[in-house]
Amino acid sequence: MSGRLKVPQPAMVVALVALFVSIGGVGYAASKIDTDDIKNGAVTKEKIGKSAVTTGKIQRQAVKTEKLDFQSVTEDNLGSNSVTTGKLADQGVTNGKLAAGAVRSAQLGPTETVETRTTIPANSNGNLSAICPPGTTIITGTGRAASFGVHNVGELVLAQDNAWSAAFVNTTNAEQPVVVQVVCLSS
C-alpha cells in the first residue's frame, strides 16, 4: 500500500452535496410549513391516513359548531358517555330539538295523583279544585261526576295555585258526588 491520498471523483462530490442538501432541506421545510402555507381544500380526507388524526392531535376547541356540516355528528360518531349533562349548555336541549316520542312519562320522574271529592246540592252549580303539593308541577287533570245528571261545564289550570279546577252543574233533584283529579310531577 502506498501512502498516496485518493482524490474523490467529481461525480461523487456532486452526489454527496446533493444528498446533504436534500436531507437538510426536508427538515428545514417541515419545520417552516404551517397552516397559512397550505391552500384551503389541499388536505382532503383521501390524503389523510386512516387513524392519522386522533383526539389527542386536535387542539382544544379547534372544532366548533359553526365548522360542522348539518347532521355530520351522529350518535354513531359519539363515544359512549361522551355527551353528559355537564357538557350541555343551559337551555341547550329545547322542545324543537327533541324527536317525537323521545320523552315519555317514565323519563320525567315520579308523579303523584291528588284527588279531591265533594257533593253538589240538587239543582245547583259548584266548583272543585285539586291542588298539587309544593315542589311539584301540574301535568294534567280531570273532573268527573258519578251521575249523568251532573255536567262538567269547564276545566282549567290555576297556575298560580298549582291547581286543577272544574265547574259542575247538577240538574238532578238530589245531591250528587263529584271528583277532581290532578297529576303532579315532582321537580
What is the phi/psi pair of residue 159, to 5°?
-55, -40
Q: What's the pLDDT at 179?
A: 97
155 is written with which cell numbers? 276545566
Measured CA to CA, the distance from residue 73 to residue 58 in angstroms comes to: 16
Whether 85 and 140 have beta carbons less than 8 Å apart is answered as: no
Q: What's the pLDDT at 43?
A: 78
Q: Which domains does the chain have, with CATH numbers?
A: 108-186 (2.60.40)
Compute mean pLDDT per 10 residues along the chain, 187 residues long, and list them: 70 74 63 74 78 75 75 77 79 79 78 95 96 93 94 91 95 97 90
Q: What's the pLDDT at 28?
A: 62
Q: What's the pLDDT at 71?
A: 75
Q: What's the pLDDT at 90?
A: 80
Neighbours of 118 (CB within 10 A): 13
